[in-house]
Amino acid sequence: MISSMTGYGKAEATIRQKKVTIEATAVNNRYLEVSLRLPKLLSEYENEVREAIGKLVSRGKLSMTIVIDDNSITPQMLKLNEDVAHLYHKMFRDLKAKFKLSGDITVSNFVGLPDLFTVTTAAAITRADVNKLIVGVRKAIGNLNQMRQNEGNALAKDMAHRVRLIETALAEVERFQPRTLERYRQRLTQLIEDILPDGQKLGDAEERKLRLDMEIALMADKSDVTEECVRLRSHCEAFIATIKAPGDTGKRLNFILQEMNREANTIGSKSIVYEASEKVIRIREEIEKLREQVQNIE
């Protein structure tokens, strides 16, 4: 069954006794586009996260945010450079003595001094921690895909209903086909009789009648939509079959709609009675609604 490209999924993982929250959202996009926000502790594993996502999602603009709820898991620690501190302290004493400065040397004098502290890295994340993270990522994407599948099922039902409406309207167009030529004959006969001399009828001249029959035959050929109706009905069947098929079907559905629209336009250009034109307009409306929905299908 088809799957929507919009959805939301959330999961949690535990890394070094700290809770990690993973949230993923997805919207329509022609290709797969992944945007990640990772804490610095996990930034070096971005490629592994992207790879896990790529195996589960094929299309859509996906955003994932991974948050470590407790900042105490930060990988950075500060270490005082005592030798540097002693050097700064000696410089302050020398300055006081040289320039006869008053006041005591306090901690505030050391604030902002360069190289006073060294940033060190705590114990690295283990492979077991990374595996837990990837499991959480897959779970979040799994929940997102479940939501996409549910929405896809609803879309499939609605689209199938619209295809049935198209088929119903198409049957009406075919039903109007015999009337089309008869109405054209009546209109053409009346037009000719209106321009003939008073008292003269079309039937009085065999040549005129023959030319009229030839014109009707020519119009019958121009207005025949049998082949177009057969092809459009075939496209409708292909559309329904594709909805039920497994895998990524969005691109194929879009192609089928292009063919459906092409046949509908041809039928519309050949229609010469109002009733048939009205049904063709309805068919075009439903095709356009289907086109909008297909843009949201993976």
Q: Can you give the CATH number for the domain in which 69 is found? A: 3.30.230.10
Based on the domain organization, do 60 and 142 belong to the same domain?
yes
Q: Which of 164, 283, 182, 186 is closest to 223 using CA atoms?
A: 182
Based on the domain organization, do 137 and 11 belong to the same domain?
yes
Q: Which residue type, as a one-letter code, is found at position 267?
A: I
The pLDDT score that the predictor gives to residue 209 is 61
Answer whether residue 2 is part of any domain.
Answer: no
The pLDDT score that the predictor gives to residue 248 is 73
The pLDDT score that the predictor gives to residue 187 is 66
Answer whether residue 194 is part of any domain.
Answer: yes
Based on the domain organization, do 162 and 242 belong to the same domain?
yes
Based on the domain organization, do 142 and 56 belong to the same domain?
yes
Return the structure tokens found at 162.
């619209």
Based on the domain organization, do 46 and 117 belong to the same domain?
no
Please give the Cα distance from 169 to 162 (Å, whole number). Answer: 11
Based on the domain organization, do 174 and 134 belong to the same domain?
no
Based on the domain organization, do 200 and 226 belong to the same domain?
yes
Residue corresponding to tokens 């099922």: 153
Reduced to 3 states (helix: H, G, I; strand: E, B; else coil), residue 1 is coil
CB atoms under 10 Å from CB of 157, counted, come to 10
Answer whether residue 1 is part of any domain.
Answer: no
CB atoms under 10 Å from CB of 92, counted, come to 16
Instruction: Mark which of 92, 113, 148 sits at the end of a domain.
Output: 148
Please give the Cα distance from 3 to 35 (Å, whole number). Answer: 21
Based on the domain organization, do 162 and 272 belong to the same domain?
yes
Rg from Cα positions in the chain: 38
Q: Which residues is 200 bridged to in the sheet?
A: none
Based on the domain organization, do 162 and 247 belong to the same domain?
yes
pLDDT by 10s per residue, the chain, length 298: 788 999 999 999 988 788 999 999 999 988 899 999 998 888 889 999 999 999 999 889 999 999 988 655 455 567 888 898 899 889 988 888 888 888 888 888 888 888 888 866 555 678 899 999 999 999 999 999 999 999 999 999 999 999 999 999 999 888 877 666 666 666 666 665 665 555 555 555 565 566 666 655 555 555 577 888 999 999 999 999 999 888 778 889 999 999 999 999 988 887 766 778 889 999 999 999 999 999 888 8
Q: Considering its fold, how many domains does the chain have in total?
A: 3
The pLDDT score that the predictor gives to residue 77 is 66
Answer whether residue 243 is part of any domain.
Answer: yes
Based on the domain organization, do 136 and 104 belong to the same domain?
no
The pLDDT score that the predictor gives to residue 213 is 62
Answer whether residue 165 is part of any domain.
Answer: yes
| Residue-range definition of the domain harbouring residue 47 | 7-73+125-148
Residue 156 burial by Cβ neighbours in a 10 Å radius (0-12, 13-18, 19+): buried
Based on the domain organization, do 61 and 83 belong to the same domain?
no
The pLDDT score that the predictor gives to residue 206 is 61
Based on the domain organization, do 91 and 26 belong to the same domain?
no
